[in-house]
Amino acid sequence: MANAGTRMGLQIRSTVKKEGIVEISLAGVPTPEPKPDEVVVRIDASPINPSDQGLLFGGADMSTARASGTADHPVVTASISPTVLKALAGRLEQPLPVGNEGAGVVIQAGASAAAQALMGKTVAILGGAMYAQYRCIKAVQCLVLPPGTTPAEGADCFVNPLTALGMVETMRLEGHKALVHTAAASNLGQMLNKICIKDRVALVNIVRKPEHVDLLKKIGATYVCNSGSPTFMEDLAEALSGSGATVAFDAIGGGRLAGQILTAMEIAANRTAKEYSRYGSTTHKQVYIYGGLDRGPTEFNRAFGMAWGIGGWLLTAFLQKIGFEAAQKLRERVAAEIKTTFASTYTKEVSLAEALRIEEIAVYGKQATGGKYLINPNKGLR
Amino acid sequence: MANAGTRMGLQIRSTVKKEGIVEISLAGVPTPEPKPDEVVVRIDASPINPSDQGLLFGGADMSTARASGTADHPVVTASISPTVLKALAGRLEQPLPVGNEGAGVVIQAGASAAAQALMGKTVAILGGAMYAQYRCIKAVQCLVLPPGTTPAEGADCFVNPLTALGMVETMRLEGHKALVHTAAASNLGQMLNKICIKDRVALVNIVRKPEHVDLLKKIGATYVCNSGSPTFMEDLAEALSGSGATVAFDAIGGGRLAGQILTAMEIAANRTAKEYSRYGSTTHKQVYIYGGLDRGPTEFNRAFGMAWGIGGWLLTAFLQKIGFEAAQKLRERVAAEIKTTFASTYTKEVSLAEALRIEEIAVYGKQATGGKYLINPNKGLR
């Protein structure tokens, strides 16, 4: 109902056009009136995660990005290759809202007691369309942050924390005793280290730069292997022997790393084997690909026997699998430890309009460790 | 006990030498005296399966094969590449017996009632070292063939039949309703078609040649796709839509086929999707690699969402997982249907010495559909 009382708000939208371009724009949209079980949250903080960038950029080549529109209503366009475009048939010509998660203050509430109880509270929410000034959402989806927590501190309560916890839970549920993580110096990777240190779970970190080895060692990591080192495979096999890790979570996706991990796991498993087995070790070795920092093809040599698996891992599928109650326990742990275990750091805070500047996209679009942005959709507008 | 009464027998052995060659030879070995619970089987038929060739050739380049030794005691040597050699560290300098399965007549039995009951019976056995005149084995491992079954008819009671049944069982256990099979015109593939027709399970066959399409259509296959056809991806997606198959068993291993199957499954799944999902369909899509007809690397583009898996599938691991009783039921089905559902056809029957002739290796080493050999270890020796 866009009547006189309707609150308008800015929202980032991404449209893949059938001619092979993505158009990212800032639109003014009416905020829905909350139903009895809903609230309206003023979003004060929302991180730009790699998983957001997939939807935001639509797989476009952002080096081709061009700006148009006005300062208040910027528009960015960029080209999408025909191959990538083919996979996007399902979203053609639809202006999609973006932003998986965020935090802010409840400024309007529906009639139900549960909704009313949230008025004025600082909450974290997950559910898309967070790159917006306002978000109408079910009260039950709000995670109330502990008193004294700012929206910026609580902005990343779900994607990274639940993914990190989900990895450790998956490890346990599938009977592994330790785990491997790639792109391990990321915000998520640092969280995972803190969880594993706290929970006494052995973790093998794989990074691509020597300075990331130092970074992780400094926060207490035991096993850190640099995939750029000439002794990487030996180092990795050694770390896998020491930790007993037989499951890995890979953010890279493309290239040979997933296969290298399985190969090193097989080498580690065979160190304790008593006799030659033509089909390799009977230890099940698993790599879950949960990201695509390298969008190129995945390639492996199958030099790791027959007891192995590679598969996709998706947070929402994992949460569905474990069920609401188990997932709620994980969420409550995140809220309780949001300033310690699950603290995120950001390079820069930007407004919605600033997030669409070509020079900012060039920085956060790299998805480099230590280059993470936070959007404050109400920056300069309150 | 190699005393005067010891029965000597010929046996094929394969040794990987540390200098990077495989040496395949025919050795005279003493047959062990059967313990109370054991019998000695005179092997009259043993198939050369792809899984046997892995152990037999040790991954050597058989185009480099050279013959030496004598007509009665031939020796074949061939070069192994340094990469392959590295993976064979566990079997260096060990003369390994070869031959997973076979059939023959029980000619000597231990003192136990179970062993004695088998005297003179034609049995099928699994357990390695079957490319030999005699095999001492536990009575409980013998599958008694129905009266009137020849050893040649019962030679392949385990590897192909149990693999084919194991695929259908895995499909059921993991909640899929139809399956895909590659290299589908093979002996194994034909068996799988007969099982699926009998059990009313939809099966999508992938072959590489037009004549194999005809072959499978002739035995009643509904879905046959030729991966060499320019319309392969469309044909496959169509067959997957029609059958609802979401699990595949791949004998090829290397190349892009596994990824193509997952991509086509995703296309089929999205045909029924109601709205765009950025992470792809939620239908779990699985490819099990159980063979390595293409020894090259496996490569895929991950153009199939997040709900997918690729993994190794090994008969012995499957049988262990389902347990002895369930496995025994499968074995009994094989024995009962050995002349129908599970009938194998062979191109040629060779003796142990003939199996080591360079010109024969050149034929059966191709592992071509319709080029399967049967070894009769006692051919010309009885």
Q: What is the DSSP string of A154-193?
A: HTTSSHHHHHHHHHHHHHHHTT-SEEEEESTTSHHHHHHH
B291-321: pLDDT as tens digits:
998 989 999 999 899 999 999 999 999 999 9
Which of A174, A256, A278 would you mutate first to test chain B, the one with the most B CBs within 10 A? A278
Which of B279, B289, B313, B316 is the best mutation test for A, with the most CBs of A within 10 A?
A: B279
Q: To the nearest whole angstrom, how far is the Cα of B131 from the nearest Cα of chain A?
A: 17
User: Which of B302, B315, B319 is best to mutate for the A interface (most A CBs within 10 A)?
Assistant: B302
Chain B contact for A278, CB < 8 A? yes
Amino acid symbol at A139: A
Cα(A338)–Cα(A161) distance, integer angstroms = 9
Distance of CA A205 to CAs A110, A158, A241, A299, A340, Å? 46, 22, 14, 21, 20
pLDDT at B338 over 90: yes
Scan residues 164-193 of B and list those with Cβ closer than 8 Å to A. none
Q: Who's near A119: CB < 8 A, 6+ residues apart?
A: A39, A106, A108, A109
Tokens of A110: 């529906």
| pTM greater than the 0.90 cutoff | no
Q: How many residues does chain B have?
A: 382
Report, as an integer, the average pLDDT of B203-211.
97
Q: Which of A259, A278, A309 sits opposite B54 (nearest CB)?
A: A278
Residues of chain B neighbouring A310 (CB-CB closer than 8 A): 309-311
Distance from CA of B308 to the nearest CA of A (A): 5
Average pLDDT over every residue of A34-51: 96
- At A3 the pLDDT is 54
Contact B205, B221 (CB under 8 A): yes
CA distance B68 to B74: 6
Rounded CA gap, B138 and B39, in Å? Answer: 6
Question: pLDDT (tens digit, 9 = 90+) per residue, A255-295?
Answer: 999 999 999 999 999 888 777 777 889 999 999 999 998 98
Q: Which of A91, A290, A306 sits opposite B312 (nearest CB)?
A: A306
Tell me how close the Cα of A308 comes to any Cα of chain B, in angstroms: 5
CA nearest B315 in A: which residue?
A306
SS3 of residue B35 by DSSP: coil
**Nearest Cα residue to B11 out of B152, B104, B137, B134:** B134
In this predicted structure, what is the pLDDT of residue A4? 56
Q: Do B317 and A306 touch (CB under 8 A)?
A: yes
pLDDT class of B1 with cuts at 50, 70, 90: very low
* Stretch A90-96: mean pLDDT: 92
Phi, psi of A36 (to 5 degrees): -50, -40
Residue B3: is its pLDDT beyond 60?
no
Please answer yes or no on whether A307 and B314 come within 8 Å at the CB atom.
yes
Is A270 close to B90, i.e. CB distance below 8 A?
yes
Between CA B76 and CA B152 the distance in angstroms is 26
Sign of CA dihedral B130, B133, B137, B143: positive
Q: What pLDDT is stored for residue A1 in this prediction?
A: 41
Nearest CA in chain B to A58: B278
Which positions in chain A touch B303 (Cβ < 8 Å)?
Answer: 87
Give the gap in angstroms from C-alpha A256 to the nearest C-alpha of chain B. 10
Radius of gyration of chain A (CA): 22
CB-based burial, B15-47: b 16+ in 10 Å, e otherwise: bbeeeebbbbbbeebebbebeebbbbbbbbbbb
Task: In whole angstroms, give the CA distance from residue A213 to residue B211.
Answer: 57
The residue among B320, B23, B191, B187 whose CA lies nearest residue A279 is: B320
